[in-house]
Each structure stands twice: as structure tokens, then as C-alpha cells.
Amino acid sequence: MKIALAQLNPTVGDLAGNSQLILEATERAVSLGAELVVCSELVICGYPPKDLLLREGFACACDQAVKALAASIPKNVGVIVGHATHWNVPANRIANAASLIANGQVLATVHKRLLPNYDVFDERRYFRPADKLAPIAFNGLRLGLHICEDAWWGDPETFHHTDPMHFPDPIAELAASGIDVLINVSASPFEVNKPSYRDAILRRHVIRHQVPFLFVNEVGGNDDLVFDGHSVVLDHSGRKVLQLKGFVEDLQVVDLKQLPSPITHSPETVPAQLLDALVLGLKDYMRKSGFSGCVLGLSGGIDSTLAAYIAAEACGAANVHGIMMPSRYSTGHSVDDAVALADRLGIDAQVVPIDSAHRAYESLPVVGADLAAAPAGLADQNLQARIRGAIVMIRSNHHGWLPLATGNKSELAVGYCTLYGDMAGGFAVLADLFKRDVYAICHYINEVRECREVIPNNVLIKAPSAELAPNQFDQDSLPPYPILDGILEGLIEREESVATLSKSFPIETVRWVAKKLDRNEYKRRQMPPGIKLSARAFGSGRRMPMAARFEIE
């Protein structure tokens, strides 16, 4: 049987639009000789639908969309679609389901067995798990159809807080019933090196059960999540025979009777993965939210430089609007570097000096006296950032452009950022990038992606500075970024203690970073959404209290 893997980019809640995507993919697959088309998890409603699932009528609308799609697809082809459903569940409950539709009917429906409830996942809040899984028959084959997490049973990273033996093994259940192929429909979000990690999990099942494995993943950005695609086919020995593209929609057909020869697929470098994820995440957030243009401050620094490049790739240079906002403390090279970047990217850039607005605040009663008491002090520095944030928001409001915040994870972690200033915006492009990653991506852009100096060299070599006070540099207030990022990675992504990290870093520095991390949670709670790239991004996957006194030791 020839099977098409349809790697699609659904929009959350757009049942009609997503159904049309599936229909168009099915028609193309039929033209390529496919007898079965496999789409991703919850493709009908998009993933993750979150509390839309709690709205009265939403799951019923998904069921009706599946029936309508069944009536619309060409004859003599089957289509597997993921959707929320009320079918075959107790009253007022919902299941995460995948249905096989063909010849105008819903032939079979399976429910997800394992419901993830960690990191960004909260599926037990919404869904009822399946009691068991069984193969479904189609065109003489027994299909081991299952949904995303059902393939992650026994993975030490997924089950590191629990014993996997307390959970059923859905793949083993299917294999014990007799299957010809395993089919996993997924909405598996991107993290660095996640594609290779997933491949290893699938390969383990194939080696154990000796049947081919088809994995179909969602692609595209939905809010803070990016889905990378990278759908894949493994033969009965666990060798990769088909690899769909990453970060783009794709459709490929494979013949189970005559699988292709094994292929060698080299994973992309980390900077390449990160850049692709960032561009797709911003592009889809803008497209699906109805924005055609964006606006951001251009300081001539490394962060706003990378954010501008990502924006130009995501929505086209003509739709990116930069604002250079020099203050009395800005250096000449900052504006020069910003101008050079704008010229190379071909984006709109305007100069709006902020000194007159700054002086206006200094002339105000009460406030002016506070500012005069500590020239270039913390209040004065934050004021400059807030003036700039207000200017960006004015242009955003007037033109309908999405305002971009450009702070990185290192700064956000320790509070080296200003509420309602550089944190102001509608989307935080770099919020899950450590400073080291920002530099690595910029070098990759010049040396590999563009093979020319798009990122001005001076931006890469000069010392980072907020330029909010005379002769100010980041390293006057922060540990060197290699040290800071190493400590933060341990604290955030591995939840390590001060004692553990002090084996690799100076203990007083570790204590300082740990205290700053905890005390600035209130700032991060007010930051715009960003793109999740790591296992522990700020946002829905890392839920820390704001008013707390526990200190990491």
C-alpha cells in the first residue's frame, strides 16, 4: 500500500481552513498514487487548542468537521486525521483522537492512551485516556495507529519522575495484537536536537517489534510553540528510509511493499535549527494573528540585530520597521552599526533621538528631583528604556505593526531588563536564547546561511552595552556571559543546586545568579510571549512562584 505522509501547518481553531489543507493534501497524494494519507495529531483543530477544548460545542464542531471532510475527500483513498472528539467517551468528556475516514464514512477512531502532563503539556486537564489500543484494518493491512506520547513509553527523559512500569505500553499492546506497520500521528514541539532524539525513540520500538514505523509530525508555529515537522519512515530494521523536510510543509509517498533504500541524514547544526525555528515561529505568529508588519528598536547591539534579521526572513524586509533611538549616552558606532544592518537587510529604519523627551521628564516637578538626585542611576536608566518602549508602541498602534521585544534569556533570567521598556512588545523573539546562542546564530548567518557579512562585524566584536549611562558595559553589572549562561543552564534546564554548580563555577557568583533568577520572576510574568527552543523555556512550561522565599543552596 502506498501511504502519503502529510506534514501540514494547521491554525488553532480554524476547523474549516485546516480541513481545506487536508483536502488539498489528499488530492495531491492521490495524484501521486497514494491509497492512504496520514496527517498529524489534532490537525483538525490545531495543536495546542488549550482551553478552547472547554468551550461548549468545540469538540462537537471538531467531530462535525471530520464527518464533513469524510464526505469531501476523493473516493478510494483513506485519510487519518487527528481531532478532539466526544465519540465513544462518557458524557461531557473529550478524547484526543485519530480517525480513519474513507468513502464518505468514519471507519475507525482510536484515542490517545498516554496523556502528557509535564513541561508545556497539560492534556489530563482536557482529555480522557483510552482504556486500550487495538489495530485498525484498511486495504488488507493491520495498522498500529497511535498518537504522539503513546510512542514515548519508557523514555527516561519523559518518565524521569515516575516509573514507566506504572503506565501501559501502547506500542507493545498494538504489536501483541498483530500489526503490519506502526503509525504515529504527532504534534511534537521543537527543542534543540529533538528530531534526532525522536528518531532514537522510534528506532527502539522498531528493533523490538520488527515492523516499519511511520511518524507524521505537525509543522508550524502556534503561540510560543514551534513544530518542526521532520516526519520520518523507518523500515523493519529501524533504518531511516524517508525523511521529510524540517520547518516547512511537506508531503511524501512511501510504498510499504517496496520501501526505499536506507538513507543517511545528517542533522542540522544547533545554530541552523535555532534560526529555522525562530523564523518559523515569528512568521506563523504574525500570519495567524493577522499582522503583516512588525516594528522594533535598533540599538546597534547584537540582540536587536539578530531580531531584525529574523523579522526580515519571517515577513519580508519591506515589512520590517526599525527605529534608532539614540540618547545622550549613545555612542556614534551604535547608530552606524544599526544603519549598516538596515541597509544590508533592506528594511525601513528611522532615527528618533530621545534626548528631548528625556529632558522633559527631568523638568517635571517631583520626578525631575528624583532623577537629578542620581543622574544615570537606575531610575534614569530605566526611564530611557521606557521612552524607547513608548516610541515603539506609538508606531505599532498607529500602523498596526507587531512590536517586537528583543531581550535574550540571559538578561531576562537575572532581571537585566526594564519592565515597560525593552520588555514592552507583542512578541519576544529571543526570549529563549542565551547570549552565547545569539552570537552563535549571528556567526552562522554570516559564515554559512548568507556567506557574506550581513551582521556587521563591529556588532560581533564590540563589548555588549545597554548604553544607558556613561561608559556602561554589561560586564560591569553581570558575570561574563560564558559563566552566566553556564550557571543559568544548570539552574533552569537541569534545576541544579548552588552546591552542585559551585563545583564548576565560583560559589558567590552562583549564589548571586540564583538569587537574581528567583527575584525577577515577577518581571518574566509580564513579558510578551516568546518562542520555546529549550526544554525549560520561561513561560507555560516553567511555573515558578513570584512571592517566595526559598533560596537554592
Which of 41-50, 110-119, 149-158, 473-482 has the highest mean predicted lDDT (pLDDT)? 41-50
Active-site residue, 148 included: yes
- What is the per-residue pLDDT for 160? 47
**Percent of the chain scored above 90 by pLDDT?**
85
Helices then strands, counting H and E runs in the chain, come out as 18, 19
Locate 217 and state its grid cell.
509530525
Q: For the chain, what's the residue count? A: 553
Q: How many CA atoms lie within 13 A of 453 on its CB side?
A: 7
Q: Which of 12-26, 33-47, 163-177 has the lowest mean pLDDT?
A: 163-177
Q: Is the pTM of this model over 0.75?
A: yes
Q: Are residues 298 and 342 in contact, defined by beta-carbon separation less than 8 angstroms?
A: yes
Task: Judge whether residue 255 has pLDDT over 90.
Answer: yes
Concatenated DSSP letters for 460-478? Answer: HHSPP---SSTT--HHHHS
Mean pLDDT, the chain, rounded, equals 93
Task: Judge whether residue 129 has pLDDT over 80.
Answer: yes
Task: Judge whether residue 315 has pLDDT over 70.
Answer: yes
Task: Judge whether residue 544 has pLDDT over 90.
Answer: no
Candidates 45, 112, 240, 283; catalytic one: 112
Residue type, 512: W
Locate 365 and state its grid cell.
516637578
> Strand 2-7 relative to strand 250-255: parallel, antiparallel, unpaired?
antiparallel
Candidates 39, 148, 315, 442; catalytic one: 148
Task: Judge whether residue 326 has pLDDT over 70.
Answer: yes
- What is the per-residue pLDDT for 270? 96
Cross-strand partners of 323: 297, 350
Question: Kind and range of the H or E element at 320?
Answer: strand 320-324
524-527, long-range: CB < 8 A, 24+ apart = 524/412, 526/419, 526/423, 527/405, 527/407, 527/412, 527/423, 527/428, 527/431
- What is the per-residue pLDDT for 158? 58
Where does 2-262 sit in CATH, by number?
3.60.110.10
Candidates 35, 39, 41, 489; catalytic one: 41
Torsional sign, CA 404, 406, 410, 411? negative
- What is the per-residue pLDDT for 166? 66
Looking at residues 282-307, what average pLDDT do you find?
A: 96
Active-site residue, 112 included: yes
Question: Before 129, cis peptide (omega within 30)?
Answer: no
Task: Judge whether residue 307 has pLDDT over 90.
Answer: yes
Predicted confidence (pLDDT) per residue in 272-281, tens digit: 999 999 999 9
- What is the per-residue pLDDT for 240? 96
Rounded Cα gap, residues 296 and 429, in angstroms: 11
Where does 273-474 sit in CATH, by number?
3.40.50.620
Active-site residue, 41 included: yes
Which residue in 338, 322, 487 sits closest to 388, CA to CA? 322
Concatenated DSSP letters for 216-274? Answer: EE-EEEETTEEEEB--EEE-TTS-EEEEPPBSS-EEEEEETTSPPPP---PPPPHHHHH
Task: Give the CA dihedral 372, 374, 380, 381, nearest 10 degrees.
Answer: 150
Predicted confidence (pLDDT) per residue in 146-165, tens digit: 999 999 987 666 554 555 55
- What is the per-residue pLDDT for 404? 97
Q: Which of 130-139, 180-189, 474-483 has the lowest mean pLDDT?
A: 474-483
Domain residue limits, the chain: 2-262, 273-474
Predicted confidence (pLDDT) per residue in 188-216, tens digit: 999 999 999 999 999 999 999 999 999 99
Torsional sign, CA 2, 218, 275, 390? positive
- What is the per-residue pLDDT for 21? 98
**Percent of the chain scored above 70 by pLDDT?**
97
Locate 39 and state its grid cell.
496527517
